[in-house]
Structure 1
């Protein structure tokens, strides 16, 4: 039998799966890592160690544990869009810059928007320039490097860096390219080379491919490092959220995925590309497809912060305490803007706010208020999706945050949405394995490995409470924005930041 390997480079870990062509899970492997935040507004990772090193370790563990398995193909996805600059030998010149949580390129966003025009960018690229876009990050790197940026230098996202290390091929999948604004034309699904030259003259561009395409074969050096056979086909892969959506069957127009992870992420399949201010229209996973997307800057990562803050209490204990707290957290509301915010406010200077604290509030209240604050953000974003593309045909919840059920129930209660939860929430790596199976022809292109486990329904008893909470949540940001911005700028000045 032929087997498939899918590997996903996430914000907090790299996970790999070995599957059969029918989706049967044979083995898993994991390596933990974490981003660094060297300055306010900066979020980085070590591409050599955290991306390549962890993928090698995961592949080596899977192949060592099952030496009899004949691996037919490998597909890698990764957090993104990110960018790392390398020399011609694929050695990183500096730490990789992460996706929208890294807001260092604010000046470049403003400059490029002024030069090209906000409306023109929205129409051609399908979204406004924001901290999520790769173009401004590349402009920041070019400016920072000055004459040190060499003509032979290359740039990669997380998964494409690994693909290059495995195969020597420099490629970028259409989905990730469509987040390289303003350098990709969403209507033509091709590079906007005139805008590349206008913003970064002479910038070399990778070859465009679709995520489930075989782009190269494992070379001898990579085979020795990973334990895989020389010549093993390697697929392009894509950004992790889209691989995860693919893993749970979010592939038809109207399907919406809510991903409960370090950040809350949204992907909805479209019938046709659109341009909606505040949301991101992108190319999808399957050839010629389009999706609408949005993302919050911090979600699940706040629960990790809270667990550490309260002395490392077992997380199950925290969840039980939060579940015992009434809806509304007894007068507590949180703005979950701990790293600024992407959708819906696009404010890199936004910060977390916890309002209504009293001496009776305990750590369980704080965790419930965290979930409820994130759920209010979800409600705002879903309303924008509905205005842009109509009510979703179905909503599928994925990610580690679906385990236990409290967070998903609160989101359903606050938003009024029913959510389907798959039987397996293995994640993006499982979608990578499916793409690998499709890409080498082991299964038909329409194959779907997802199986539904249960549906989370809104609890009508909480409707009134959460309507009041949501109104307070929506009012709190504009009411505190001026003061929070002042605080954020004071820290940047003190730390020598932006």
Structure 2
């Protein structure tokens, strides 16, 4: 019998990744394709869905088939994940009617959040959805579209997420998983597991939203049209899929209650599996990917995006040197920052450069470099940026401790894990050990496993443990704890003392 394979594709903020694996989890081929993050106005973040999502998916699948020389008929199933939550209006053929509006880094719907809170009541929204409205929520962005681009809203046959878009183009079916649907606050009724007709009133009709199913359920099969575009065989099963962070959690083996994933990506994202729904206004809650499981989630607005900004704006000569074959600009900055003492000699950064998601839920928060002196260098600034993210992560653990939901185990994943000095800073600041898989292939790897689970090739989601390789522990160093404790107190106090000024600064004159 010929060996079968699983295909996973993930669409990220700056690039898309694909992986072709055996049923044992061995990687046969990988592919990466960069794309552009569009920032048309301050506070806006968008993607060209046709080019960045569908274009990347088609290019990646064709590259994987070509490099692996595996016949498309030997691919047992396909799984997709993508950035989220996002908002994309499409026509009857699932063609985009405008650019996709991205997740919490897009803060255009501040007024719509206020409007919905006032109209529906914050208590009602939280009681029905398990979440407070924030810049992460899709509902206010749909309302923004309805108010500011009424012609586009009227033409939309559906308003979809990124995975829905891919699934529809592959199978002709418009599907969304429960985990992702919970981010469509205030439209998803958490207890009922459906779109709430009354919750949707005045925002969008429920029939214009995707059908809801579980992540690893089969959404449909590759159509002849999709085969022509992707090279995949007609009839190949495609699962519903999920948001990238959840797929990445699965890729790291985070499936059991008490396990958590800390993802160092363009943004920081945290997912912890719990055995019961846990709700707190400062965090997000959702059904997890499998029936009978729940999750607590959190996400900062700028982590990898912030280090990228720093590199591109303040270390251009390192970027140019890397382009000429020199050392990685990120690697050089990390080494220089590691030589600076803990605490960056009195420098504290609030990393709220695109507002902040959890636990502040404040789209008007702003970035701050605090404590600058003439003695500080670029290396001090970069270390302070990395430590600022560490304090933001510790802030989340503070909240989890307060609500008696501290994780039993934290697994670190994402591109930022290549920066080991950063991981050590975070463990030292937060006082938490982090387990790092020796091989981290990311969300696309989780997508491939979920595709196998959905087609019955695996008995249980716990079977991912056979795919997860050796784990390395990054343990906290107790030596800098007193210094970091003091810096953390200043970090927390600095926002409280300046948030009114931040809000004043962001008001239109």
Instruction: Return the TM-score normalized by structure 1.
Output: 0.96
TM superposition shift of 1:358: 2.1
SS in 1 for 2:391: helix
Mapped partners of 2:13, 2:449: distance in 1: 22
1:330 correspondence with 2:335: no
1:292 correspondence with 2:310: no
TM superposition shift of 1:206: 1.6
Q: CA RMSD in A?
A: 1.5
1:266 correspondence with 2:262: no
TM superposition shift of 1:201: 4.4
Aligned to 2:34: 32
Mapped partners of 2:169, 2:245: distance in 1: 22
Aligned to 2:250: 246
Structure 1 unaligned spans of 5+ = 494-498
Which of these residues, 128, 131, 137, is aligned with residue 127 of structure 1? Answer: 131
What's the CA shift string for 1:99-129, capped at 9, x where partnerless?
A: 1111111111111112221111111111101
Deviates more, 1:145-154 or 1:337-346: 145-154
Which of these residues, 477, 488, 493, is aligned with residue 459 of structure 1? Answer: 477
Aligned to 1:48: 50
Which residues in structure 2 correspond to 1:184-263 (within 5 Å)? 184-201=188-205, 204-263=208-267
Aligned to 1:470: 488
Which of these residues, 452, 459, 480, is aligned with residue 498 of structure 2? Answer: 480
SS in 1 for 2:242: coil
1:106 correspondence with 2:110: yes
TM superposition shift of 1:208: 0.9
Mapped partners of 1:147, 1:306: distance in 2: 39
Which residues in structure 2 correspond to 1:432-447 (within 5 Å)? 432-445=447-460, 446-447=462-463
1:397 correspondence with 2:412: yes
Note if contact 2:216-2:454 (Cα within 8 Å) is conserved in structure 1: yes
Distance 1:311 1:483, change over 3 A: same
Aligned to 2:324: none
SS in 1 for 2:212: strand
Mapped partners of 1:409, 1:299: distance in 2: 16
SS in 1 for 2:208: coil
What's the CA shift string for 1:119-158, capped at 9, x where partnerless?
A: 1111111110111111111111122232553476111111
TM superposition shift of 1:428: 0.5
Structure 2 unaligned spans of 5+ = 319-328
Aligned to 2:18: 16
Which residues in structure 2 correspond to 1:38-77 (within 5 Å)? 38-69=40-71, 70-77=74-81
Which of these residues, 368, 371, 382, is aligned with residue 383 of structure 2? Answer: 368
Deviates more, 1:425-434 or 1:200-209: 200-209
Note if contact 1:256-1:269 (Cα within 8 Å) is conserved in structure 2: yes
Aligned to 1:311: 316
TM superposition shift of 1:230: 1.0
What's the CA shift string for 1:271-314, capped at 9, x where partnerless?
A: 11132111111111112321010110001111111111221412
Mapped partners of 2:402, 2:254: distance in 1: 20
Aligned to 1:417: 432
Mapped partners of 2:400, 2:95: distance in 1: 40
Note if contact 2:301-2:357 (Cα within 8 Å) is conserved in structure 1: yes
TM superposition shift of 1:68: 2.4
Mapped partners of 2:174, 2:51: distance in 1: 20
Instruction: Return the TM-score normalized by structure 2.
Output: 0.94
Aligned to 1:94: 98
Mapped partners of 2:97, 2:290: distance in 1: 33
Note if contact 2:145-2:152 (Cα within 8 Å) is conserved in structure 1: no
Note if contact 1:173-1:237 (Cα within 8 Å) is conserved in structure 2: yes
Mapped partners of 1:137, 1:317: distance in 2: 39
SS in 1 for 2:220: strand
1:181 correspondence with 2:197: no
Note if contact 1:64-1:227 (Cα within 8 Å) is conserved in structure 2: no
Mapped partners of 2:226, 2:89: distance in 1: 20
Distance 1:312 1:125, change over 3 A: farther
Note if contact 2:427-2:476 (Cα within 8 Å) is conserved in structure 1: yes
What's the CA shift string for 1:30-80, capped at 9, x where partnerless?
A: 111131111121111101111111111111100111232411111110000
Note if contact 2:6-2:78 (Cα within 8 Å) is conserved in structure 1: yes
Aligned to 2:86: 82
Note if contact 2:14-2:34 (Cα within 8 Å) is conserved in structure 1: yes
SS in 2 for 1:351: coil
Aligned to 2:402: 387
Mapped partners of 1:138, 1:483: distance in 2: 29
Mapped partners of 1:228, 1:377: distance in 2: 42
Deviates more, 1:408-417 or 1:142-151: 142-151
SS in 1 for 2:198: helix
